[in-house]
Chain A
Amino acid sequence: MSDATITVDRGCPSGLSPAESSNNGDVSAFVSERGDKRVLNLAVRGAKCAGCLSKIESALTALPGVVSARLNLSNGRLAVTWTGELNPNVVVSTVSALGYGVSPFDNDQSQRQAENEERSLLIAMGVAAFAAANVMLLSISIWAGHGEMGEQTRRVMHAISGAIAIPTALFSGRVFFASAWKVLRSGHANMDVPISLAITLALGISVVETIRGGEHAYFDASVMLIFFLLIGRFLDARLRRRTHAAAHQLAALQAQSATRLQPDGAAKSVRAGEIASGDTLLVAPGERLLVDMEIIDGESEADESLVSGESLPRMAVPGVKLYAGTVNLTQSLRGRALAAADDSLLSEISRMLEAGEQRRSAYRRIADKAVSLYVPLVHTTAALTFIGWMLAGAGIREALMIAVSTLIITCPCALALAAPVVQVVASERLFSKGIYLKSGDALERIAECDHVVFDKTGTLTVGEPVLVDKDAASPSLERAARLARASRHPLSRALVKAAGPGRVAPHVKEHAGLGLTAELDGIECRLGSAEWVGKEIPAMSSRLQLWYAEGDDAPILFEFEDALRSGALQIAEALRRRGASIEILSGDREDAVRAVADKLGVSEWRAGARPSDKVERLEALRAEGRKVLMVGDGLNDAGSLSLAHASLAPGGAMDVSQSASDAVYTGGGLEAIVSMIDAARGARSRMLQNFSLAAGYNLIAVPVAVAGFATPLVAAIAMSASSVIVTLNALRPSARGS
């Protein structure tokens, strides 16, 4: 394929997805060796169509030594295998140059386990479907030949049905038997107990009936039951795996490598997991710290906005502790890793995460609540039916037959399908909008929320400063920008963004914590803080300031502000319309938070909140009985994200925050929050509808069965009809168009 032409345009050739850029460090730490082959797994963003597939695969196979490159379009994973001395960074830059976002991907164990579970459920379902179809065909012949068919023929047909149904029940039904046995041993009951009981009783009675040449056998009912229930199980497993994979992939997008200085002085690229406490790490300007670290050499500025919510950078000098998630801004730093240190912020947060996890696992899903009502009801009805018919003078055999048909007809096919189908449909729709759900019950919890707590920096606001009064500053803006272009400081970048592209001043010197100097046309120019340009500090302003001076001229002031994200105002309005109150909890300065709160019309807000303060506030809200939806991106939000009733994180959040939250939305728009809530509420009402449909079905079917009119034909029709109705209701498009 080396002669394939590679188009010059970047990104998806069909225009389905815009070109993305990726900013990666050294990926050689992610290469694994298999024999003489080397394998690199990458996560690719923006690949949508056949054009992308061939573009990426042909470009990679054209590289020297590449044996195979295969992109999985469903999950965006690219596996590249090569032999020889090809630099893995060349692979990454090749894909990146084609206009796709790319980052190393770590294949983990739990992922593979989930895949295997899904696959074995799929096979069990296929076997059950085969058996159900064949047994059903035989049963229809028996029903059609009722009254005409000889006893011998009928017995043979029943025997063949049994020969198909019993192995199927053993193979496909083991999912339910195993789970029922497990809960029975621990003295509880779940949905699988009546299922297993019904399957076993139905099979047992059918075998007895076949032997004595009876008219009715329930082999068809038992395999159909297994088939319909497995559909629900399979959908549930698929949803869990997909959401898990999506969340994992988002985290993998941030999997980066750090540079470790070996004892002999050589620099080596390592994965975050390989860093041990006490390692010496080198952090280049613009790089993000992966672990907590104490600076031992170098002087720079650090952007801690993801850690504390503080939007102004802080000085990093030897002795200062920096937390994971901090971005080093100006000069390269050398530091000692504190990964294992107990007093680190990360360990405090992981303690909070554990507490939150425990809280959340106590949540009972709607389906579980339905089951706990349903199981005793079904068993009591079946038992009463048996006793009733015995008292009415029917024989043991007849009473047992009727009790079993009651058990089969009430068996929770529709109930088992009610929640998973709705959740799969809703999460698939959200998925197409760039919202990744972690689990099905997240939808249920989000639907219940009535109070939304926002973090400010990075969530409500863009998280980076923007020049406020562009026109007033314009004459000097371009000249100041020439200095600023040489710096990675957030204020310099904001200045450059406002000025647009242009030249860079020669020999710009950066003084950490102070500012920049350079000579423009023979005049010394300074850009930086008030002290740096030699100005008395003026009256305090809530805005971030940058001063620019040329020689001895009066300095010029540029003011910056952390701008609101697009749509933030509409979102606040939309949330209020949906009956949710809003609150802001931020770690940033008071005046910055007040400005945002005023703009959004939010009266409840708090500034300077530490992670523990946020957790406390959430505990207080919980004590008041409020169901809180927390939206946040920072490391300092992780604890409260896991503690909230439900939580959301933007795609750019720290991976700790993403894994602590129930859903992750990509793209800058806050609209995702509203569509999430709408989808969750829609799904909830759809689930309740399904449960009522299932209950309604039982109201009709149970009296029929108890009265003894439930022949196998009636049972089969009733059971399939209820399952199909529930599924169709879940697939029905919703009125809101979500």
Chain B
Amino acid sequence: MEMLAFLIPIALFLGLIGLVAFIWAAKTGQFDDPEGDAARILIDDDHPLP
């Protein structure tokens, strides 16, 4: 049962990282243009080295 003393905090900490990442993403406007972001990945704008 002492295992729980480690496992529960670890689980909570990992979940918290996810939550912080989500809040950061929402605050920086990553959910503002879902359609555009889906389309942008198809744009061929890389320039091969000469």
- Using CB atoms and an 8 Å cutoff, list the residues of chain A in contact with chain B: 1, 4, 49-50, 53-54, 58, 71-75, 119, 122-123, 126-127, 130, 133-134, 137-138, 153, 156, 160, 164
Contacts and interface: CB of A to CB of B under 8 A. Distances in A.
A418 B34 CA distance: 26
B43 A126 contact: no
A1 B35 contact: no
Contact of B39 (A49, A119, A137, A153): A49
A659 B39 CA distance: 32
A635 B32 CA distance: 35
Given A54-B45, A160-B8, 5 more contacts: A50-B40, A54-B43, A122-B31, A126-B22, A153-B1
A134 B12 contact: yes
A138 B39 CA distance: 41
Interface in B18-46: 18-19, 22-23, 26-27, 31-36, 39-45
Given A50-B40, A134-B11, A73 B22 contact: no
B5 to A, nearest CB: 9
Contacts of A122: 26, 31
A72 B31 CA distance: 11
Contacts of A164: 12
A406 B27 CA distance: 38
A73 B19 contact: no
A127 B19 contact: yes
A293 B18 CA distance: 60
A164 B27 CA distance: 22
B35 A50 contact: no
> Which of B12, B31, B44 has its CB near the most chain A CB atoms (within 10 A)?
B12
Contacts of B18: 130
Contacts of B32: 72, 74
Nearest to A156: B4
A53 B39 contact: yes
A interface SS class:
helix
B17 to A, nearest CB: 10
B23 A123 contact: yes
Contacts of B39: 49-50, 53, 73
A487 B43 CA distance: 45
Contacts of B19: 126-127, 130
15 contacts: A4-B45, A54-B43, A71-B36, A72-B33, A74-B32, A74-B33, A74-B34, A122-B26, A123-B27, A126-B22, A130-B15, A130-B18, A134-B12, A153-B1, A164-B12
Contacts of A1: 45
Interface string B3-16: 01000100110011
A52 to B, nearest CB: 8
Contacts of B36: 53, 71-74
B43 A50 contact: yes
B42 to A, nearest CB: 4
A73 B11 contact: no
A715 to B, nearest CB: 23
Nearest to A54: B43
A138 B12 CA distance: 11
5 cross-chain pairs, A with B, having the tightest CB-CB distances, nearest first: A73-B36, A50-B39, A50-B42, A73-B35, A130-B19
B6 to A, nearest CB: 13
B36 to A, nearest CB: 3
A126 B31 CA distance: 13
A126 B11 contact: no
Nearest to A57: B43
A119 B27 contact: yes
A119 B22 CA distance: 12
Contacts of B33: 72-75
Contacts of A74: 32-36
A126 B27 CA distance: 12
Contact of B26 (A50, A126, A156): A126
A156 B42 CA distance: 51
Contact of A126 (B8, B12, B23, B40): B23
A95 to B, nearest CB: 16
B40 to A, nearest CB: 6
Contacts of A138: 8
A21 to B, nearest CB: 24
Contacts of A160: 8, 12
B3 to A, nearest CB: 12
A123 B19 CA distance: 9
> Which of B15, B32, B39 has its CB near the most chain A CB atoms (within 10 A)?
B39
A133 B16 CA distance: 12
A98 B19 CA distance: 43
A191 to B, nearest CB: 26
B12 to A, nearest CB: 6
Nearest to B25: A126
Nearest to A163: B12
Nearest to B31: A122
Contacts of B11: 134, 137
Nearest to A122: B26
Nearest to A133: B15
A46 to B, nearest CB: 14
Contacts of A127: 19, 23
Contacts of A153: 1, 4
Nearest to B29: A119
Contacts of A73: 33, 35-36, 39
A138 B8 CA distance: 9
A654 to B, nearest CB: 30
B31 to A, nearest CB: 7
A713 B2 CA distance: 26
Contacts of B34: 74
Contacts of B1: 153
Nearest to A1: B45
A712 B41 CA distance: 46
> Which of A4, A72, A130, A133 has its CB near the most chain B CB atoms (within 10 A)?
A130
Contacts of B44: 54
Contacts of B43: 50, 53-54
A73 B38 CA distance: 10
A93 B10 CA distance: 58
Contacts of B26: 119, 122-123, 126
A1 B19 CA distance: 37
Contacts of B16: 130
A54 B40 CA distance: 8
